[in-house]
Amino acid sequence: MLNDLKQQPADALLALIKLHNSDPRADKIDLGVGVYRTGQGDTPVFGAIKAAEAKLVAEQDSKAYLGPEGDMGFVEALMPYIFGKQDPAMGGRIEGMQTPGGTGSLRLALAMVKRAGYNRVIVGKPSWPNHNQICADLGLEVFEFNHAAADGSTDMDALRGALGQAQAGDAILLHGCCHNPTGIDYTNAEWDEIAGLILDSKVLPILDLAYQGLGQGMEEDAYGVRRVLAAVPEALVCYSCDKNFGLYRDRVGALYAMVADPADLTRVMSNGHALARANWSQPPDHGAAAVRLVLADEALTAQWLDEVAEMCERMRQVRATLAAAGKTGGVDLTPIGSQNGMFSIIPFTPEQVQEMRSKHGVYFAASGRIAVAGLTAANIDKFIAAVADVTA
């Protein structure tokens, strides 16, 4: 019965938002919410998206159902950016479908993995919390390895060890770029090695590409995904447009499957369609249609790429400023300069996290994860001074 349901803990991020909103201090800083912000603290609608939406309103002549696969024009338009322009379908081995955001893509990928007979997912620790939550909800075992070494680089020994212990029926979930929550990415040379390790271990790679363009650039951030796909027979790629198109609330994502034999693709994707039908029937159309229109228009595509590059450059400038502060109190901020994307982790103790909130009005996750884009020219000096104060 419904009254037998157990109380679930409040979402930590939502609780953090409430804490920040209730703080009356005018100079409080929100580093918890994972959205991009400009130097003025705003989360804008992309100019390219606004133009595409205006076109959509003027030209769209139906709101009829599309089906569980969603807007296939959107799905196909993204492929050259993800997989490369030369042969984005890899000789007919790759096909995709639209999903409700990157989370929907991951949910669908892991449900397909479960249906295909996989039992365990190898996941770096720490990872985005929803990775493990989705696995748990689907009854998939999670086998964790340390993602980051003590010196702020990736822990390749831990990854090698995890793949060395891989069993039949294992998959591995890897962040394609801009690791959430650490910001610590694999180098190109490390991806070269990882591709070979995955091939040798025969595990199924699930590649989560949620932040393409926000690390080093659109092409640079796709290196790891493309390198792994070039080496292995099968893979799943989860993609999000929520960040690099600013479509957070529209929930725009895609799932791509790569198979060894193109003849298997229709059968594999039929399982994705069936699972989608049972979960959300079909994904919301508006945001995906806007992306499709952007990518179909050369001028809008150029405008979008400029907007993504501007986001990337602003976050790199924030990282450079933090890195320049060097040893700050009891922590060294230097490694943040070589990290990528929207997040980094600073090794605060739980007591220091609370003191940052209560004494300085600086709010971020209990893990020490900060949303880099929440720092601006107006508040970054305050943040650095607060770090020095509570960690001294």
Domains of the chain: 10-45+312-387 (3.90.1150.10), 65-296 (3.40.640.10)
Residue 308 and residue 67 in contact, taking contact as beta carbons nearer than 8 Å:
no
Strand 362-363 relative to strand 29-30: parallel, antiparallel, unpaired? parallel
Q: Considering Cα of 232, then 94, then 261, then 276, what sign does the dihedral take?
A: positive
Residue 240 and residue 107 in contact, taking contact as beta carbons nearer than 8 Å:
no
Q: How confident is the model at residue 180 (pLDDT cuts 50, 70, 90)?
A: very high
Q: What is the mean pLDDT of the chain?
A: 96
Q: How confident is the model at residue 33 (pLDDT cuts 50, 70, 90)?
A: confident
Torsion, Cα of 77, 78, 79, 83 (10° steps): 150
Q: How confident is the model at residue 90 (pLDDT cuts 50, 70, 90)?
A: confident
Helices 72-83 and 286-296 sit at what angle, rounded to 10 degrees?
60
Q: What is the pLDDT of residue 213?
A: 98
Catalytic (active-site) positions: 128, 208, 243
Helices 223-231 and 188-201 sit at what angle, rounded to 10 degrees?
30
Give the global pTM.
0.95
In 3D, which of 252, 244, 296, 313 has the Cα closest to residue 51? 296
For residue range 118-147, list pLDDT tens digits in order.
999 999 999 999 999 999 999 999 999 999
Among residues of the chain, what percentage have pLDDT more than 70?
Answer: 100
